[in-house]
């Protein structure tokens, strides 16, 4: 068996491996948890019960192949991860899954969305770390140790915020967190991730081992949630007040008063420059020209380790999309952002 096939097989094995509930100290078996409600938000934007999702290519081959895998996947597996036991998956997120309970401007609900996206990222990084450790046994690759250190440090950082969010959810005291929700024009795109903007660079060009010692912990980490609901889309942004993220605040403010075209470009920038875990409707994906996709893949590969707040790109995935009726009537978010 060649090395690629072995890596592929290892990934599948790890992906399907039994995992345990991520909530608190719960030790029950984890089921497949959807990052957004399957029978609500995800099904509404699906086509024949399918959605488009990006799957990162093998981390060892990014330079050669770019990130090539856009996949159309069934709704049962789309935008999901082995996150919580049956009980927590149902009860913990009930307030944001029950239609009559949902209040997108309520800190408890904003925290639940952010918490689920954060757990997803921790799980995904954990699986990647296991994969790298397995690959390191197969090939003597010089990148294995720095990649593995990167994942470990990322998981440690996100776990800090996971525990802080958990205790806020349990005590119902959200005073340590800043959250803001804004309405944006409806677009069939879902994102729910923690994001580190800035301060990952190595400003003094220290040798890797030296820089590692100076790494900050915890790092300012923001929570980004974007999803369509009824006739609008919503952007919930937040962060821990002890580790504030000005980039997120500025982004919320800009999106709150911008018009369609600017908002679509901002969403495109997020996907092109900063994220790898999102899902969109096949209809929206088909409107992105092949040439734009090709440029996107190239830019994504180039920027994969860049987290600078000032990154810019000319690429606009949504430049040619047909404005829907819902987009046309959008006249800007009318609540003030503090
Ligand atoms: Zn549980």
pLDDT digits (tens, 9 = 90+) for 259-275: 899 999 999 999 998 88
Q: How far is the CA of 89 from the centre of ligand 1 (A)?
A: 7
> Do residues 197 and 275 lie in contact, with contact meaning Cβ atoms separated by under 8 Å?
no
Q: How far is the CA of 230 from the centre of ligand 1 (A)?
A: 30
Specify if 283 maps to a domain: yes
Q: How far is the CA of 123 from the centre of ligand 1 (A)?
A: 15
Specify if 131 maps to a domain: yes
Q: Is the pLDDT of residue 26 over 80?
A: yes
User: What's residue 61's pLDDT?
Assistant: 55
CA distance from start to end of the chain: 58
Specify if 334 maps to a domain: no
Q: Is the pLDDT of residue 140 over 70?
A: no
Q: What is the average pLDDT across 176-189? A: 96
Specify the length of the chain in residues. 338
Q: How far is the CA of 317 from the centre of ligand 1 (A)?
A: 38
Distance between CA atoms of residues 273 and 312, nearest Å:
8
Which residue did the predictor score with more confidence, 98 or 303? 98
User: What's residue 70's pLDDT?
Assistant: 85
Q: Worst-scoring range by mean pLDDT, 192-201, 202-211, 234-243?
A: 202-211
User: What's residue 82's pLDDT?
Assistant: 96
> Do residues 224 and 116 lie in contact, with contact meaning Cβ atoms separated by under 8 Å?
no
Q: Exposed, middle or buried: residue 173 (CB in 10 Å: 0-12, 13-18, 19+)?
A: exposed
User: What's residue 54's pLDDT?
Assistant: 84
Q: How far is the CA of 114 from the centre of ligand 1 (A)?
A: 18
The 3-class secondary structure across the chain, one letter per residue, is: CCHHHHHHHHHHHHHHCCCECCCCCCCCECCEEECCCHHHHHHHHCECCEEEEEECCCCCCHHHHCCCEEEEEECCCCCEEECCCHHHHHHCCHHHHCCCCCCCCCHHHHHHHHHHHHHHHHHHHHHHHHHHHHHHHHCCCCHHHHHHHHHHHHHHHHHHHHHHHHHHHHHCCCCCEEEEEEEEECCCEEEEEEECCCCCCCCCCCCHHHHHHHCCCCCCCEEEEEEEECCEEEEEEEEECCCCCHHHHHHHHHHHHCCHHHHHHHHHHHHHHHCCCEEECHHHHHCCCHHHHHHHHHHHHHHCCCCCCCCCCCCCCCCCCCCCHHHHCCCCCCCCCC
Q: What is the average pLDDT across 136-161? A: 84
Which residue did the predictor score with more confidence, 236 or 132? 236
Distance between CA atoms of residues 34 and 278, nearest Å:
12
pLDDT tier for residue 214 given thresholds of 50, 70 and 90: low
User: What's residue 134's pLDDT?
Assistant: 87
The pTM of the full predicted model, rounded to 2 decimals, is 0.91
Q: How far is the CA of 166 from the centre of ligand 1 (A)?
A: 13
User: What's residue 7's pLDDT?
Assistant: 80
User: What's residue 300's pLDDT?
Assistant: 78
Which of 65-79, 145-159, 164-178, 282-296 tops mean pLDDT? 164-178
Distance between CA atoms of residues 224 and 239, nearest Å:
9
The number of distinct structural domains making up the chain is 1
Distance between CA atoms of residues 91 and 309, nearest Å:
37
Q: How far is the CA of 87 from the centre of ligand 1 (A)?
A: 6
Please report how the helices 260-269 and 246-257 are oriented relative to each other, as an axis angle in degrees rounded to 10: 150
Q: How far is the CA of 22 from the centre of ligand 1 (A)?
A: 7
Specify if 333 maps to a domain: no
> Do residues 252 and 237 lie in contact, with contact meaning Cβ atoms separated by under 8 Å?
yes
User: What's residue 206's pLDDT?
Assistant: 64
pLDDT tier for residue 326 given thresholds of 50, 70 and 90: confident
Specify if 338 maps to a domain: no
**CA 33, 36, 37: angle at the middle one, nearest 5?**
85
Query: In terms of C-beta distances under 8 Å and separation of at least 24 residues, what long-range contacts does 199-206 make, across chains too?
Result: 199/307, 200/307, 201/307, 201/308
User: What's residue 158's pLDDT?
Assistant: 97
Q: What is the average pLDDT across 22-35? A: 96
Specify if 44 maps to a domain: yes
pLDDT tier for residue 77 given thresholds of 50, 70 and 90: very high
Q: How far is the CA of 109 from the centre of ligand 1 (A)?
A: 19
Q: Is the pLDDT of residue 58 over 60?
A: no
Q: How far is the CA of 225 from the centre of ligand 1 (A)?
A: 23
Structural domain span for residue 127: 3-328
Residue % of the chain over a pLDDT of 70: 88
Specify if 336 maps to a domain: no
Specify if 295 maps to a domain: yes
Distance between CA atoms of residues 103 and 90, nearest Å:
18
Distance between CA atoms of residues 161 and 148, nearest Å:
20
Q: How far is the CA of 174 from the centre of ligand 1 (A)?
A: 22
Q: What is the average pLDDT across 326-337? A: 76
Q: How far is the CA of 53 from the centre of ligand 1 (A)?
A: 27
> Do residues 236 and 222 lie in contact, with contact meaning Cβ atoms separated by under 8 Å?
no
Which residue did the predictor score with more confidence, 287 or 303? 287
What is the residue-averaged pLDDT of the chain? 88
Q: Is the pLDDT of residue 73 over 60?
A: yes
Q: How far is the CA of 170 from the centre of ligand 1 (A)?
A: 14
Q: What is the average pLDDT across 169-184? A: 97
Neighbours of ion ligand 1 (CB under 5 A): 21, 23, 26, 28, 85, 88
């Amino acid at each position: 068996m060649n090395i690629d096939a072995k890596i592929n097989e290892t990934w599948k094995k790890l992906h399907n491996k039994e995992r345990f509930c991520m909530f608190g100290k719960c030790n029950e078996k984890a089921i497949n948890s959807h990052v957004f409600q399957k029978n609500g938000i995800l099904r509404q934007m699906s086509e024949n019960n399918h959605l488009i999702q990006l799957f990162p290519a093998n981390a060892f081959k990014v330079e050669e192949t770019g990130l090539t895998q856009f996949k159309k996947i069934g709704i049962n597996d789309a935008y999901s991860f082995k996150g919580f036991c049956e009980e927590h998956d149902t009860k913990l997120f009930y307030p944001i899954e029950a239609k009559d309970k949902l209040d997108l401007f309520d800190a408890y609900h904003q925290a639940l969305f952010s918490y689920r996206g954060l757990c997803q990222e921790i799980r995904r990084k954990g699986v990647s770390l296991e994969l790298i450790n397995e690959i390191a046994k197969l090939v003597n690759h010089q990148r294995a140790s720095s990649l593995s250190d990167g994942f470990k440090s990322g998981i440690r950082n996100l776990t800090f915020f996971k525990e802080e969010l958990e205790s806020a959810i349990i005590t119902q005291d959200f005073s340590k967190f800043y959250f803001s929700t804004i309405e944006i024009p409806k677009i069939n795109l879902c994102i729910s991730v923690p994001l580190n903007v800035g301060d990952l660079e190595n400003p003094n060009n220290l040798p890797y081992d030296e820089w590692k010692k100076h790494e900050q912990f915890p790092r300012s980490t923001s929570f980004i949630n974007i999803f369509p609901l009824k006739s609008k889309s919503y952007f919930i942004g937040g962060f821990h007040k002890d580790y504030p993220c000005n980039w997120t605040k500025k982004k919320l403010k800009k999106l709150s008063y911008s018009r369609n075209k600017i908002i679509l470009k901002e969403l495109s920038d997020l996907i092109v420059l900063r994220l790898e875990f999102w899902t969109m409707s096949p209809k929206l994906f088909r409107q992105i020209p092949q040439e734009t996709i090709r440029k996107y893949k190239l830019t994504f590969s180039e920027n994969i380790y860049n987290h600078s707040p000032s990154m810019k790109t000319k690429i606009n995935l949504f430049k040619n999309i047909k404005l829907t009726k819902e987009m046309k009537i959008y006249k800007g978010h009318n609540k003030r952002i503090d």
